[in-house]
Amino acid sequence: MEVASVNGRIHVRNLAASILVPVVGGSIVGALANRGTREQYERLKNPSFAPLGWVFPAVWTVLYKMMGVAKYRAQETAKSLGRERQVLAPYELQLGLNFLWSFLFFKWGLRGAALAEMAALLGAVIWAAYKFYQVDRLAGSLLVPYIAWVAFALGLNYSFWQLNK
């Protein structure tokens, strides 16, 4: 578990909390935002490059775990530098935007608003990765797959919006 070691130590409680917040939060948001929306979603025209439905929870589970480890590493390092607040602010912003998107797109059917919000999310994730990288290169690097997925999701969201106006 070397990836979780910061300065030769692992603070198990902090690591667990950092991972559980996005994983459990994402699960709760998914359950609340997707409740009763399956039939509505199935009526939408899908872009040709839309992944199968099972792909999303699988990818998000991995990404949420990577986000949690990245947050833990950045937070532990930033604490020792007295920069915890500046480093974590963009992470907290992107996590809030991440959770909001499901409600916009699925629960409320606001595909255009979800698209704009997804663009803001992409910017926030890039900002978080940059801030993390400044204090811990591995922490910043752990967010690169998340950046790629959000960029893909932005294109997917745009296509759904265009096909279903």
Domains (range + CATH), the chain: 2-163 (1.20.1260.100)
* pLDDT surpassing 90 at residue 9: no
**According to the model, what pLDDT value does residue 134 have?**
97
The pTM of the whole model exceeds 0.85? yes
**According to the model, what pLDDT value does residue 1 have?**
54
**According to the model, what pLDDT value does residue 54 have?**
87
pLDDT (tens digit per residue) in 36-95: 887 888 889 999 999 988 899 999 999 999 999 999 999 999 998 889 999 999 999 999
Using a CB cutoff of 8 Å and minimum separation of 24, what contacts does 124-129 make? 124/90, 124/93, 124/94, 124/97, 125/94, 125/150, 127/90, 127/93, 127/94, 128/90, 128/91, 128/93, 128/94
148 or 4: whose pLDDT is higher?
A: 148
135 close to 77: Cβ distance less than 8 angstroms: yes
**What does the DSSP 8-state code read for residue 108?**
S
pLDDT (tens digit per residue) in 47-60: 999 998 889 999 99
